């Protein structure tokens, strides 16, 4: 299969921070939306973009909590956005479109991991798939008029190394008729993030909208792993005996500032001007590697898999997603 998953030699390594990527970049006049841009990697993404001059709107379920978390990041607009509530997504989109603003960058950063038990939304949709993929799918489609109006825009969706092990269960994505496994559900949602970027880029690049999926690395202290006990994190090699995070960017263990760098790189780098529909890691386009070695192996794999960027699967997921949103 012909593909675009080839590193481009960005000049940034795994240890680069979002500020490193944006050094000398002026984003004045650039309108940005960051979902979940008030916590962990999202907060550092917001902070770096604002520092570079961008006007940033953060989408959050709890506006007051988001404002509190943003703290000293001044001038950020916060809008209510609950990705598992279609009415909330629609209302967020309407508010933006009615403002008449162009949208230059959309960063679909928010995400959840579910508990060991199956959790579904009001539609009966599995929570991780509904939040991580479907909510962002609905949001992005709604904002397409503003993205097109920008005359050159980017959509960045935060995925995970778990995309390598994901499979879309086309007949039962919500585990209605099969045993639930939270890890399987998470990997499915993260694979969906990559496939979404592939198909969105195919459909929208002609209108100047490019799409990317990114892997931020493993960042201890984010919402996605805050519910994991310290013992489990220690067994995973993510914290030391004192409970402090182990930072080793080359093996994917990053600070929030380092984790935010690839999102910012995808959103702003001129090196990607003619490239889209790709999966990025460590501030570069990830290579393609179908070696199925496990995540726990020394030097965990971060490459894309052929099935993760398969255009036929990407089109099929788009069609499935449209049907699910239609109810």
Q: In the chain, where are the structural domains located?
A: 18-326
80-98 mean pLDDT = 98
The pLDDT of residue 234: 52
Average pLDDT score over the chain: 91
CB of 154 within 8 A of CB of 296?
Answer: no
Are 54 and 105 in contact by the 8 Å Cβ rule? The answer is yes
At 206, list the tokens: 């002609």
260: Cβ–Cβ under 8 A, 6 or more apart, which residues?
A: 17, 18, 41, 42, 44, 45, 48, 216
Q: Are 199 and 318 in contact (CB under 8 A)?
A: yes
Q: What is the set of active-site residues?
A: 186
Bridge partners, residue 253, by sequence: 218, 248
Q: Which of 6-20, 165-179, 232-246, 261-275 has the lowest mean pLDDT?
A: 232-246
Query: SS3 of 56, please?
Result: strand
**Section 169-178 average pLDDT:** 97
Torsion, Cα of 72, 78, 84, 86 (10° steps): -170
Under 8 Å between Cβ of 126 and 175: yes
Report the alpha-carbon angle 190-215-141, nearest 5.
55
CATH of domain 18-326: 3.40.50.720
DSSP H or E run through 134: none
| Better pLDDT: 295 or 78 | 78
What DSSP designation does 252 have?
T
Please state the φ and ψ torsions of residue 126, each to the nearest 5 degrees.
Answer: -55, 135
In whole angstroms, what is the distance from residue 34 CA to residue 49 CA? 10
Cβ atoms of 226 and 239 within 8 Å: the answer is no
Residues whose CB falls within 8 Å of the CB of residue 296, separated by 6 or more in sequence, listed in order: none
Average pLDDT over residues 4-16: 94
Instruction: Give the confidence band of 298 by pLDDT, cuts at 50, 70, 90.
Output: very low
What does the pLDDT average to over 103-113?
Answer: 97
Contact of 34 with 216, CB cutoff 8 Å: no
> Which runs of consecutive H residues, i.e. helices, occur in the chain?
18-21, 40-51, 63-70, 86-99, 127-128, 136-149, 182-204, 230-235, 256-259, 261-268, 311-326
Which pLDDT score is estimated for 299? 44
Mean pLDDT of 205-230: 77
Phi, psi torsion values for 167, nearest 5 degrees: -140, 140
Percent of the chain with pLDDT over 70: 88
C-alpha closest to that of 120 among 190, 185, 63, 165: 185
Predicted local distance difference test score (pLDDT) of residue 115: 80
How would you label 2-36 residue by residue, b for 16+ Cβ within 10 Å and e otherwise?
Answer: eebbeeeebebebbbbbbbbbeebebeebbbbbbb
């Amino acid at each position: 299969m012909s593909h675009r998953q080839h590193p481009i030699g960005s000049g940034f390594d795994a240890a680069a921070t979002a500020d490193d990527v944006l050094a000398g970049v002026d984003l004045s006049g650039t309108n940005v939306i960051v979902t979940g841009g008030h916590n962990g990697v999202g907060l550092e993404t917001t902070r770096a973009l604002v520092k570079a001059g961008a006007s940033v709107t953060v989408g959050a379920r709890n506006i007051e909590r988001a404002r509190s978390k943003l703290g000293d990041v001044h001038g950020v607009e916060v809008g209510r956005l609950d990705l598992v509530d279609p009415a909330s997504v629609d209302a967020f989109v309407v508010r933006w479109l009615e403002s008449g603003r162009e949208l230059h960058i959309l960063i679909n950063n928010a995400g959840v991991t579910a508990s060991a038990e199956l959790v579904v939304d009001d539609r009966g949709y599995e929570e991780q798939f509904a939040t991580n993929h479907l909510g962002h799918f609905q949001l992005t489609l709604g904002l397409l008029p503003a993205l097109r109006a920008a005359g050159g825009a980017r959509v960045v969706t935060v995925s995970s190394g778990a995309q390598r092990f994901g499979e879309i269960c086309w007949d039962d994505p919500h585990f209605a008729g099969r045993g639930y496994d939270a890890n399987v559900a998470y990997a499915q949602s993260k694979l969906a993030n990559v496939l979404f970027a592939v198909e969105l880029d195919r459909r929208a690049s002609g209108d100047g909208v490019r799409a990317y999926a990114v892997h931020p690395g493993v960042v201890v202290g984010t919402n996605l792993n805050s519910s994991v006990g310290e013992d489990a994190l220690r067994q995973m090699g993510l914290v030391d005996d004192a409970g402090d995070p182990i930072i080793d960017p080359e093996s994917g263990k990053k600070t929030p500032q380092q984790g935010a760098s690839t999102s910012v790189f995808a959103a702003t780098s001129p090196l990607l001007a003619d490239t889209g529909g790709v999966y990025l890691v460590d501030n570069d386009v990830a290579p393609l590697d179908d070696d199925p070695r496990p995540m726990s192996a020394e030097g965990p794999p971060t490459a894309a898999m052929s099935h993760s960027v398969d255009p036929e699967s990407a089109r099929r997921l788009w069609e499935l997603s449209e049907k699910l949103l239609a109810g």
